[in-house]
Structure 1
Amino acid sequence: MLKMWRTFIWSFGSLILAVAGMSAYGHGIAEPRHGGVVQSANDITFEFVSLPEGAVIYVFDHDEEYGAHQMTGKLTVLRSEGTKLEADLRFSGGNRLSTTGLVLARGDRVVATISEPGNAVLVRFTVK
């Protein structure tokens, strides 16, 4: 009888762990849609895309475009040689925030501070 209970408990525990693992797997970081770097914060997904003339951050909520019309932000770029650059992020239509006038290099670390009424988030990226 004791052996049967042990088997039941181990089986039930394994089932619970498997179900918990599947639910965590469903909320992983999404694949990039625009060739950028993807990070998530506060259940919102941000895709950072470096452009020759600046950068764009695309905003998604559960794989759907999230309107960024009330968002503002700031990019802080930490260069590998130790210098620091800053630029404002502005709404640029749909789910995009963008900045111009920055030339980014591979390996630069970017910290985006993004705000909307009642909420602020800090997201970190590394330029590919």
Structure 2
Amino acid sequence: MKTNASIAQTTFASVVLCLASVAHAAGPHGHTLEPRHGGMVVEAKDIDYELVASPKKVELYLRDHGKPVDVMQASAKLTLLSGDKKQEVELKPAGGKLQAEGSFQVGPGTRAVVVVTRPDKAPATARFSFK
């Protein structure tokens, strides 16, 4: 037979687990990291970075609390690591995003590191893994 104290402890533990799950799903700053362009999203320095990659084009979208970041004066260096192959790509502003066209190794197992430079901001690094 459970005592009132053990029931309270069990209830408290359940509530803590539920709250932890909600906090984890919402991301470190209380918002979800949802892709808006079909890519992968990570957060770094309070900015959401969404990488959309195909074998012929790579696009990087930046959002600050859900609002697009102006990237007209920004640039980025993308490094793709696939097996023992390394490819470095410069991303340039293109209609609200940073973009490059060419031939890219972006299959499962590929890792990507992007360093974004914006005026009056410290460079920011975002890391992605293709599944």
* TM-score for both structures, normalised by structure 2: 0.73
Aligned to 1:113: 115
User: Offset of 1:28 from its aligned partner?
Assistant: 4.0
**Aligned partner of 2:52 among 35, 49, 53:** 49
Residue 117 of structure 1, CA deviation:
1.5
Q: 1:1-128 maps to which residues of 2 (within 5 A)? A: 25=26, 27-80=30-83, 82-94=84-96, 96-103=97-104, 104-119=106-121, 120-128=123-131
Local SS of the residue matching 1:117: coil
Specify every segment of 5 or more residues in structure 1 that has no aligned partner in the other structure, as ranges.
1-16
Aligned counterparts of 1:107 and 1:29: Cα–Cα separation in 2: 24
- 1:102 CA drift (Å): 3.0
Amino acid at match of 2:58: A
List per-residue Cα deviations over 1:54-108 (Å, max 9, x = no partner).
Answer: 210111110111111111011101112x1111010100112x0011113222221
Check whether the contact 1:87–1:102 (CA below 8 A) recurs between aligned residues: no
List alignment gaps of at least 5 residues for structure 2. Answer: 1-15
> 1:34 Cα deviation (Å)?
1.1
The amino acid of 2:50's aligned partner reads: E
Q: Give % identity.
A: 32
Between the two proteins, the alignment pairs up a number of residues equal to: 109
| Contact 1:55 1:102 (C-alpha < 8 Å) held by counterparts | no
CA distance in structure 1 between the aligned counterparts of 2:65 and 2:88, rounded to whole angstroms = 29
Letter in 2 for 1:39: V
- Offset at 1:113? 0.7
Aligned-partner SS, 1:102:
coil
**Partners of 1:106 and 1:34 in 2: CA distance:** 19
TM-score by length of 1: 0.74
1:27 Cα offset (Å): 2.4
Asked if the contact 1:92/1:98 (under 8 Å) is kept, the reply is: yes
Q: What is residue 3 of structure 1 aligned with on the other side? A: none
